[in-house]
């Protein structure tokens, strides 16, 4: 149903200086004879105020007539406002004059600089250091401030900044209330905040995944380009190990008695060594060179967050110092691979299988299963190959998966981890008596893809993982001991109940 036509302004005299003829002429309507007041109300000239609209469509003509009638209203309101003394005009009357004389300034005064609805005033607690116009003027209008390069931000950026300030203050107000005192509006504000955070988290995850895929593609392209340059380096069967194959290889290490690892562990299998508490801790790694690489992330990855053991003052061990020598670290090669992808897959599988072991007392790596790298060669490997070929050497490389052993481990102190809130190892004594500070993971949750997770569960089931999870065994023992002690005393509720009976 069409909206009823708005009548001309009440009491409007068509014979005034800004009468209908002059009003319509400003839009080029071409009407020569003025209309009487009655005619203005009843005649179709008001409805079709834009006059002849030519070849315009029905919708375009209707819009033109509506704009013409609006212009008549605006001129009339401005004329009435001008009759009133300048000092006595209300804000509405000043706006009516501004709308005719300076339409753009009028529009800006109504919508701020956001291009949307009129600016909402700032929260009462926002910028208490400002008062009056200082607070509601430019400081609020340009709430997003400047870009890093001191350039101005867009109107939309300022609008979003204002909305965020209002939402944050409203959310703080709702959260500060007692749950029983919150209104439906408070609950709606809190629920909207949860939805907004979920949206941002989802968006950030998608952006990070997009960036990661782009990085992986660029790295793989560089690898393919290098192998095209040196085709003899390409592995004959360059299909990477699957997650299941890598997990099967890793699981064989636990009961192997025919390897150097068995001898290095004192004629014990890996399973036996890990089951004995406060005895042996291991570090699982992979690298191109077997040597310093087998100790770097453990005691000396300077400037990175992957070093596990340091001196008690937080400084790294030095290979020439006696306290480092007294650690008596020993590394054993457990696998050789022509492809970095295969070596990386076995390393990740081993780490994920033993991920529940305690950092410091049994395992000595911080981040487990940091994702599969499907490249045969890394950038650093390609540079090494090129240098070796330039020097006339063989360009073939062998990648090594290794296990570094730390013996005579004794936990000296424990603490509550600031990130996870769990009871963790703080310091240990190992080797010939060196005391070490233990650093816990800053990102404790392992990263692995669905295929790795599926292979991991199957491998743990096959190995009987509970047999080697000494951390879980310790927690179970603590729980059982605490339970037996509680049986001899009243519960808190029973104690409160008996106290109340005594009072009666």
The alpha carbon torsion through 156, 159, 165, 167 (nearest 10 deg) reads: -90
The alpha carbon torsion through 100, 105, 106, 108 (nearest 10 deg) reads: 150
CB 417 within 8 A of CB 440: yes
**Count of domains forming the chain:** 2
Domain-embedded: residue 207: no
Exposed/middle/buried for residue 60 (C-beta within 10 Å: 0-12, 13-18, 19+): exposed
Q: For residue 478, what pLDDT is reported? A: 59
Reference 137, options 161, 121, 156; nearest CA is 121
Domain-embedded: residue 236: no
Exposed/middle/buried for residue 406 (C-beta within 10 Å: 0-12, 13-18, 19+): buried
Domain carrying residue 283 = 243-481
Domain-embedded: residue 29: yes
Domain-embedded: residue 15: no
Q: Both 250 and 104 in a single domain? A: no
Which one of 77, 111, 145 terminates a domain? 111
Give pLDDT tens digits along the chain (504 positions).
455 666 666 655 544 434 444 444 434 333 344 445 555 444 556 677 777 777 788 888 888 888 887 887 888 888 888 888 888 888 788 888 888 888 777 776 665 444 455 677 888 888 888 887 778 888 888 888 877 777 777 888 888 888 888 888 989 988 988 888 888 888 988 998 999 888 888 888 888 888 988 988 888 888 888 888 888 888 866 678 888 899 999 988 888 898 889 989 888 888 888 877 658 899 998 888 777 777 888 888 776 788 899 999 988 898 888 999 999 999 999 989 888 989 999 999 999 888 888 899 889 988 887 667 888 888 888 888 888 888 888 878 889 999 999 999 999 999 998 888 889 999 999 999 999 999 998 877 766 778 888 888 888 888 876 555 555 555 555 555 655 544 444 443 444 344 444 443
CB 110 within 8 A of CB 117: no
Which one of 86, 111, 136 terminates a domain? 111
The tokens of 57 are what?
């469509």
Domain-embedded: residue 131: no
Domain-embedded: residue 191: no
Distance CA 229, CA 383 (A): 13
Q: For residue 347, what pLDDT is reported? A: 92
**CB-hemisphere CA count at 13 Å for 294?**
18
Domain-embedded: residue 55: yes
Q: In terms of DSSP bridges, do strands 399-406 and 281-287 run parallel, antiparallel, or are they unpaired?
A: antiparallel
Distance CA 406, CA 295 (A): 11
Query: What is Dmax (Cα atoms) for the chain?
Result: 117
Global pTM? 0.57
Exposed/middle/buried for residue 346 (C-beta within 10 Å: 0-12, 13-18, 19+): buried
Domain-embedded: residue 98: yes
Which one of 70, 92, 111 terminates a domain? 111
């Amino acid at each position: 149903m069409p909206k009823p036509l708005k009548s001309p302004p009440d009491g409007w005299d068509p014979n005034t200086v800004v009468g209908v003829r002059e009003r319509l002429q400003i839009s080029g309507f071409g009407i020569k004879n003025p209309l009487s007041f009655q005619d203005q109300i009843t005649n179709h000239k008001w409805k079709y105020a834009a006059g002849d609209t030519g070849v315009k469509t029905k919708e375009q003509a209707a819009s033109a007539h509506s704009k013409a009638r609006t212009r008549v209203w605006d001129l009339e309101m401005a004329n009435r406002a001008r009759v009133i003394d300048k000092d006595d005009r209300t804000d509405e009357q000043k706006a009516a004059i501004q709308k005719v004389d300076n339409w753009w300034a009028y529009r800006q005064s109504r919508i701020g600089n956001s291009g949307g609805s009129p600016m909402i005033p700032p929260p009462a607690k926002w910028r208490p250091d400002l008062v009056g116009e200082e607070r509601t003027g430019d400081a609020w209008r340009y709430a997003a401030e400047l870009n890093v390069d001191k350039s101005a931000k867009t109107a939309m950026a300022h609008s979003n900044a204002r909305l965020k300030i209002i939402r944050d203050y409203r959310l703080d107000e709702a959260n500060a209330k007692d749950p029983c005192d919150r209104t439906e509006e408070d609950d709606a504000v809190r629920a909207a905040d949860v939805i907004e955070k979920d949206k941002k988290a989802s968006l950030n995850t998608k952006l990070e995944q997009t960036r990661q895929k782009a990085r992986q593609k660029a790295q793989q392209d560089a690898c393919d380009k290098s192998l095209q340059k040196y085709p003899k380096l390409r592995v004959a069967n360059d299909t990477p190990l699957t997650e299941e194959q890598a997990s099967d290889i890793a699981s064989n290490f636990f009961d192997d008695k025919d390897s150097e690892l068995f001898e290095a562990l004192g004629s014990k299998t890996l399973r036996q060594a890990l089951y004995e508490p406060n005895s042996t801790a291991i570090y699982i790694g992979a690298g191109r060179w077997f040597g310093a690489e087998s100790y770097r992330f453990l005691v000396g990855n300077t400037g990175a967050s992957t070093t596990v053991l340091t001196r008690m003052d937080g400084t790294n061990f030095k290979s020439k110092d006696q306290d480092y020598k007294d650690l008596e670290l020993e590394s054993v090669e457990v696998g050789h691979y022509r492809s970095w992808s295969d070596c990386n897959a076995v390393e990740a599988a081993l780490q994920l299988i033993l991920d529940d072991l305690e950092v410091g007392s049994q395992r000595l790596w911080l981040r487990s299963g940091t994702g599969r790298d499907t490249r045969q060669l890394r950038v650093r490997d390609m540079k090494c190959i090129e240098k070796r070929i330039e020097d006339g050497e063989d360009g073939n490389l062998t990648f090594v998966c290794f296990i570094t052993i730390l013996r005579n481990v004794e936990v000296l102190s424990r603490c509550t981890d600031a990130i996870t809130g769990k009871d963790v190892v703080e310091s240990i004594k190992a080797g010939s008596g060196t005391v070490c500070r233990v650093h816990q993971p800053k990102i404790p949750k392992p990263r692995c893809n669905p295929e790795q997770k599926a292979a991991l569960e199957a491998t743990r089931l096959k190995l009987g993982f509970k047999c080697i999870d000494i951390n879980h065994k310790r927690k179970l023992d603590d729980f059982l001991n605490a339970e037996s002690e509680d049986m001899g005393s009243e519960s808190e509720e029973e104690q409160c109940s008996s106290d109340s009976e005594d009072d009666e």
